[in-house]
């Protein structure tokens, strides 16, 4: 889902230096070396592979002083640029800006781990304290008048006499980022802009910590008599989760999606399904000191006030100006084209489920906590397909091997295990692989995998980089990580996952491949356009259902036998099953994201606005938004996906269209010519060229929505 350190860290990094969070900087004048590296979190990484993060030496007490020293050093970098009396050029302004902040960016690597993978009450206190200080720091750079004027001069000169293509792109992105963040405002407005950013940084921290607290605070414990419908591996995993929390002999459904989802799908205990469902979908909405509704109202008001300083009517207009959609109207047009077909399909799905319930004389009306359970019964009835049967062939380790195989076929990559202890890791669950080019043996990077849920780890799945690829200042090993929240199995047991979770596993690995395949010169170009950057990862999902993966890696966890052809046929036949649910729960969140930011937030009642807007959209009562507003971390724990959650669907239009290019090729999804074009135009350039142009170079034309509608089993023209 996420492609950077943490949502909060993304916001921090994107506004600090406008470039990547992984850069090399020149020595700051008059700063003794011993002072710069006295804190381990600031120190240059050592060891093999161009150096790796010293996760084994990471200490919470070092975070605050490391951040403070890192900010000081970063500002010294900026001062060196602004003190230069020579006329501004790319080499004396943009290049040192690209190199700036190395020490602080190293600190953010540890900060991201402590925030997302290893959070604790002690860290959250530091996080809360540092949020406003980090905001002030960002403002000192984004509002630095001398710095901006130098950037503007380089930008203006480049309009008259263009630089090399990638340099031109860096200058354009840098200038636009500063301009979008208030660099051209007068002194009074700049002051207010900075104040708003400080207030928002605190609200974002509160919001995300409240979600994490509710995920940790609500656990449903089961007895042996309450395990009806659950598989043996799942029962063992729930037993381990309870034992880990000191409740030996019980079974724990924790308040995360990976724990909640299979319980709702298989449990025969309807009252417990309701309890688990309410725990999960009420995160941040329990009317207590962890309630997020007031935080959201404040965030919406501050965002609107801030963009008004820049002359925009609403946050969405400001945010989308440099995205593929360009404006909220285009984003809404896409969503509105799909929405009617999605909710119409939900109506059909609910009708099918209710018929099953009635035939079983269950004497119930389908409610949201019934949807997954009865959908499985309909799947079995319509397609003779049992998700639990499919799950027996989806072992996490074999899926990882399948991903490595796909990476080898498309990218010519080879993954080999790095022995434990060779590079530091932050938890015993984390394993590391080296990535090389299969033909040349060239070292490319390291891939870290942190697969399991734990206390202090935020829910969901995401990818991140600890160090990105650049060549302008010496090539370094790419350090990329995938993070999941699979329920950790009992000792000796395999990790069996759902088809949806397997798809997500492939998705996040697609982000990692995007990081590894980068061929850009400057750090800024490793960034992404939000409604495009999910495309590459969504496309990689398609290889899960290819014959080569199914035949060789989807094998039974007990017998090792490959998935039977009859079962494969059922899986493929049911490919569009439950698309009403999947599309509607996602689109509801995307539409709400946009509508919240187009509305007047002056006197907004967040809870009522959510209910009334969904009612106007004719949201089916049998399901809810994938991310209800009070725990919509994509949008309210930072700004990475604010008015941009639609981007998954925008990217999926590209995904479906690009998949057709492979389907039409002589060797299908493993066609070498199409794969080469994929890497050359859609993976390697990152943000070095306009995404729309990159896609046209790959496909020979713009993407069309018809392929997406077909993939989801919807009419190609929604009624």
**Per-residue pLDDT tens digits for 595-615:** 999 999 999 999 999 999 999
By CB neighbour count within 10 A (0-12 exposed, 13-18 middle, 19+ buried), where does 322 fall?
middle
- Work out the pLDDT band at 409, boundaries 50, 70, 90: very high
How far out from the chain centre does Cα 213 lie? 20
- Work out the pLDDT band at 400, boundaries 50, 70, 90: very high
Residue 530, pLDDT score? 83
Residue 473, pLDDT score? 81
- Range 479-506 average pLDDT: 94
- Work out the pLDDT band at 716, boundaries 50, 70, 90: confident
Residue 528, pLDDT score? 82
Condensed to tens digits (0 to 9), the pLDDT of residues 498-556 reads 999 999 999 999 999 999 999 999 999 998 888 899 999 999 999 999 999 999 999 99
229 and 267 Cβ atoms separated by less than 8 Å? yes
HEC letters along 466-529: EECCCCCCCCCCEEEEEEEEECCCCCCCCCECCHHHHHHHHHHHHHHHHHHCCCCCCHHHHCCC
Residue 474, pLDDT score? 79
**H or E segment to which residue 401 belongs:** helix 396-411
Residue 17, pLDDT score? 32
**Domain 328-390+577-711, what architecture?**
Orthogonal Bundle (1.10)
Among 20-24, 31-35, 639-643, 646-650, the range scoring the smallest mean pLDDT is 20-24
Equal fold, 328-390+577-711 vs 396-548: yes
Q: Indicate the SS3 state at residue 227.
A: coil
Among 23-37, 107-121, 524-538, 626-640, the range scoring the smallest mean pLDDT is 23-37
Residue 78, pLDDT score? 98
81 and 93 Cβ atoms separated by less than 8 Å? yes
User: Computed over its alpha carbons, how large is the radius of gyration of the chain?
Assistant: 25
Residue 38, pLDDT score? 57
E strands in 53-182: none
Residues linked to residue 253 through DSSP beta bridges, in sequence order: 220
Of residues 639, 122, 215, the one with CA closest to residue 457: 215
Domain ranges of the chain: 7-213, 218-281, 328-390+577-711, 396-548
Share of the chain above pLDDT 70, in %: 94
Alpha-carbon torsion angle 55, 428, 485, 243, nearest 10: -130
- Work out the pLDDT band at 561, boundaries 50, 70, 90: very high
Q: How many angstroms separate the first and last alpha carbons of the chain?
A: 30
User: Which CATH number is 396-548 given?
Assistant: 1.10.1370.40
- Range 369-393 average pLDDT: 95
Is the Cα dihedral 472, 474, 475, 476 positive or negative? negative
The whole-chain average pLDDT of the chain stands at 92
In whole angstroms, what is the distance from residue 664 CA to residue 390 CA? 28
User: Which CATH number is 7-213 given?
Assistant: 1.10.1370.40
């Amino acid at each position: 889902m996420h492609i950077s350190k943490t949502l909060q860290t993304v916001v921090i990094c994107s506004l600090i230096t406008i470039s990547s969070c992984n850069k090399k900087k020149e020595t700051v004048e008059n700063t003794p070396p011993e002072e710069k590296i006295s804190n381990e979190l600031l120190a240059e990484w050592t060891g093999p592979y161009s150096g790796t993060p010293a996760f084994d030496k990471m200490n919470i007490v070092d975070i605050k002083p490391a951040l403070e020293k890192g900010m000081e050093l970063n500002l010294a970098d900026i001062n060196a640029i602004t003190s230069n009396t020579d006329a501004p050029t790319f080499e004396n302004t943009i290049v040192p800006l690209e190199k700036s902040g190395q020490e602080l960016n190293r600190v953010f690597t540890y900060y991201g781990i402590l925030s997302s993978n290893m959070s604790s009450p002690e860290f959250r206190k530091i996080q809360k304290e540092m949020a406003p200080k980090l905001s002030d720091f960002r403002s000192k750079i984004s509002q630095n008048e001398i710095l901006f004027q130098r950037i503007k001069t380089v930008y203006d000169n480049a309009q008259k006499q263009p630089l090399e293509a990638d340099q031109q792109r860096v200058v354009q992105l840098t200038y636009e980022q500063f301009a979008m963040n208030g660099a051209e405002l007068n002194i009074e407005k700049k002051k207010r802009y900075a104040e708003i950013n400080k207030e928002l940084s605190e609200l974002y921290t509160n919001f995300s910590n409240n979600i994490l607290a509710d995920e940790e605070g609500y656990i449903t414990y089961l007895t042996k008599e309450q395990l009806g419908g659950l598989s043996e591996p799942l029962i063992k995993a729930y037993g381990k989760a309870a034992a880990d929390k000191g409740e030996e002999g019980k079974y724990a459904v924790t308040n995360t999606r990976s724990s909640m989802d299979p319980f709702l799908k298989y449990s025969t205990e309807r009252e417990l399904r309701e309890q688990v469902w309410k725990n999960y979908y009420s995160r941040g909405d329990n009317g207590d000191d962890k309630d997020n509704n007031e935080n959201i109202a404040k965030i919406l008001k501050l965002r609107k006030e801030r963009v008004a300083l820049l002359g925009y009517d609403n946050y969405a207009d400001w945010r989308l100006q440099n995205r593929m959609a360009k404006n909220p109207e285009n984003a809404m047009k896409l969503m509105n084209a799909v929405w009617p077909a999605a909710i119409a399909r939900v109506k059909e799905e609910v009708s099918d489920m209710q018929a099953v319930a009635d035939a079983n004389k269950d004497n119930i009306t389908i409610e949201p906590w019934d949807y997954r359970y009865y959908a499985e019964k309909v799947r079995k009835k319509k397609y003779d397909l049992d998700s639990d049967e499919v799950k027996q062939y989806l072992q996490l380790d074999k899926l990882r091997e399948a991903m490595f195989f796909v990476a080898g076929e498309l990218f010519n990559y080879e993954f080999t295990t790095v022995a434990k202890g060779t590079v530091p890791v932050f938890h015993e669950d984390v394993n590391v692989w080296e990535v090389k080019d299969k033909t040349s043996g060239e070292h490319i990077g390291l891939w870290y995998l942190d697969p399991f849920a734990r206390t202090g780890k935020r829910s969901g799945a995401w990818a991140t980089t600890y160090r990105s690829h650049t060549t302008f200042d010496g090539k370094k090993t790419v350090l990329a990580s995938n993070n999941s929240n699979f329920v950790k199995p009992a000792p000796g047991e395999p990790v069996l996952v759902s088809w949806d979770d397997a798809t997500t596993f492939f998705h996040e690995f697609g982000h990692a491949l995007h990081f590894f395949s980068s061929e850009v010169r400057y750090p800024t170009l490793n960034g992404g356009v939000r409604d495009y950057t999910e495309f590459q990862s969504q496309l990689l999902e398609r290889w899960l259902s290819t014959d080569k993966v199914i035949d060789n890696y989807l094998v039974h966890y007990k017998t090792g036998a490959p998935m039977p052809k009859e079962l494969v046929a059922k899986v493929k036949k049911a490919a569009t099953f439950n698309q009403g649910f999947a599309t509607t729960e996602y689109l509801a969140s995307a539409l709400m994201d946009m509508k919240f930011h187009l509305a007047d937030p002056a006197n907004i009642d967040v809870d009522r606005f959510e209910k009334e807007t969904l009612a106007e959209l004719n949201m089916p009562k049998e399901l809810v938004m994938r991310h209800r507003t009070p725990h919509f971390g994509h949008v309210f724990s930072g700004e990475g996906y604010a008015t941009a959650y639609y981007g998954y669907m925008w990217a999926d239009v590209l995904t479906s269209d690009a998949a057709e290019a492979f389907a039409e090729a002589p060797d299908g999804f493993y066609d070498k010519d199409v794969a080469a074009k994929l890497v050359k135009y859609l993976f390697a350039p990152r943000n070095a060229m306009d995404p729309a142009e990159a896609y046209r170079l790959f496909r020979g034309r713009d993407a069309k929505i018809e392929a997406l509608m077909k993939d989801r089993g919807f009419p190609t023209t929604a009624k």
